[in-house]
């Protein structure tokens, strides 16, 4: 059995490749000439050079594989047209390549983020009420996320034409997330209130600068909408019921392990 993984040079994609290899699946990774390889140096896989904008390279990449795990995409772009081109058009090209040269494909797994559904006061599957003006978040450890992604692809009959939300079992406030991070780092946190009008002004400034200079900035008016949302939460119940997904990491253990990994790799 063979799987194609797009976005394999990324943090999550490289872990998906590792997990598939551990389960005895031969892996082909779609990579650009310029794709970083530092996450992949110890993994045994086949490289398919190509790009989501190049249909011929995608046709070569998908030929003969049994599974496609599509993780490639961008989270920042200079404008909405570029964002749409990278994510929506590129995904369409990959699906077209599969339909044209590999119509017998066993499973196509498309990995996105909860941002595709967007924040809301009523979130997917899990209705919530505003409490104390706090904001609430679902989080997941990369090990649990990768387990869920691989499960969704390799489950024999379950999960066809389904959408699954993968997250840990807890729902946390921003303060709880910061407290867990501070505990893992052995540091104290200090909350600095920032007036809403100041954030709006900064967001407008960076949005205008990004449009004029054709650059990506971490803050924009669109990003502010996300930051101001009360809920970025979801339910993993469907994944549990259909796939047998069971997250192993809680917030404190997961944060501590993640910080240890960051330190080991020189990120903090």
| Integer Cα distance of 41 and 44 in angstroms | 8
pLDDT over 70 for what percent of the chain? Answer: 91
What average pLDDT does range 233-257 have in this prediction?
A: 95
| Tens of pLDDT, residues 170-192 | 999 988 999 999 999 998 888 78
Q: What's residue 209's pLDDT? A: 87
Is residue 152 within 8 Å of residue 109, measured between CB atoms? yes
Does position 132 have pLDDT exceeding 60, yes or no?
Answer: no
pLDDT, the chain, mean: 88
Residue 228 is predicted with a pLDDT of: 79
Match 């259909």 to its residue by tokens. 242
Band (pLDDT 50/70/90 cuts) for residue 126 is very low
The whole-number average pLDDT for the span 131-151 is 88
Cβ-contact 50, 60 below 8 angstroms: yes
Residue 12: its pLDDT value, please? Answer: 94
Domains along the sequence of the chain with CATH? 1-112 (3.40.50.720), 116-268 (3.40.50.720)
Q: Is the pLDDT of residue 22 over 90?
A: yes
DSSP-based three-state secondary structure for 6: strand
Please state the separation of Cα 196 from the chain's center in Å: 28
Low-confidence winner among 91-105, 160-174, 186-200 (lowest mean pLDDT): 186-200
Confidence bin at 130 (pLDDT 50/70/90): very low
> By C-alpha distance, which of 73, 11, 75 is closest to 40?
11
Distance CA 98, CA 104 (A): 9
pLDDT value for 160: 81
Residue 78: predicted pLDDT:
65
Q: Are 102 and 62 in contact (CB under 8 A)?
A: yes
């Amino acid at each position: 059995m063979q799987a194609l993984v797009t976005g394999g040079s990324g943090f999550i994609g490289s872990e998906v490749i590792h997990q598939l290899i551990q389960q005895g699946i031969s892996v082909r990774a779609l990579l650009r000439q310029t794709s970083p390889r530092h996450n992949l140096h110890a993994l045994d896989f086949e490289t398919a050079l190509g790009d989501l904008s190049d249909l011929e390279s995608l046709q070569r990449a998908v030929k003969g594989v049994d599974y496609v795990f599509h993780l490639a995409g961008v989270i920042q772009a200079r404008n909405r047209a570029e964002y749409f081109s990278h994510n929506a058009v590129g995904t369409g090209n990959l699906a077209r390549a599969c339909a044209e040269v590999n119509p017998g494909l066993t499973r196509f797994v498309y990995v996105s983020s909860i941002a595709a559904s967007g924040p809301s006061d009523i979130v997917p599957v899990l209705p919530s009420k505003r409490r104390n003006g706090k904001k609430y978040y679902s989080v997941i450890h990369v090990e649990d996320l990768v387990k869920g992604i691989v499960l969704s692809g390799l489950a024999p009959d379950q999960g066809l034409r389904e959408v699954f939300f993968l997250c840990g079992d807890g729902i946390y406030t921003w303060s709880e997330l910061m407290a867990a991070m501070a505990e893992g780092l052995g540091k104290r946190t200090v909350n600095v209130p920032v007036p809403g009008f100041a954030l709006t002004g900064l967001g407008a400034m960076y949005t205008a600068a990004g449009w004029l200079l054709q650059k990506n900035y971490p803050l924009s008016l669109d990003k502010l909408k996300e930051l101001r949302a009360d809920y970025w939460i979801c339910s993993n119940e469907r994944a549990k019921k259909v796939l047998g997904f069971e997250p192993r990491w809680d917030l404190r253990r997961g944060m501590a392990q993640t910080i240890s990994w960051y330190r080991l790799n020189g990120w903090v």
